Structure 1
Amino acid sequence: MDDLLNESTPARPLRPSSIAAKRYQIRQFASALVLTGVPIEEIDALAVLVTAENFKLGLRFLLDRERRDKSNTRTAGQVAHTIRSIARYHLRFSEAELSPLNNITTRLNRHEPGMTEKNRHRVAQFSD
Structure 2
Amino acid sequence: MESILYVLAGLMVGLVAGWLPSRNRAAALAKQLQEETSKISLLEAKSARSKGLADNLKEALHQREEEVNALKQEGDEAKGTVTALKAQLTDLDAALKDLRTQLAAAEERASASQ
- TM bucket by the smaller chain? under 0.3
Give the number of the structure with larger relative contact order, counting CA–CA contacts within 8 Å between residues 6 or more apart. Answer: 1
Higher normalized helix content (fraction of residues): 2
Bigger-Rg structure (1/2): 2
So what's the TM-score if we normalise by structure 1?
Answer: 0.18
TM-score (norm 2): 0.21
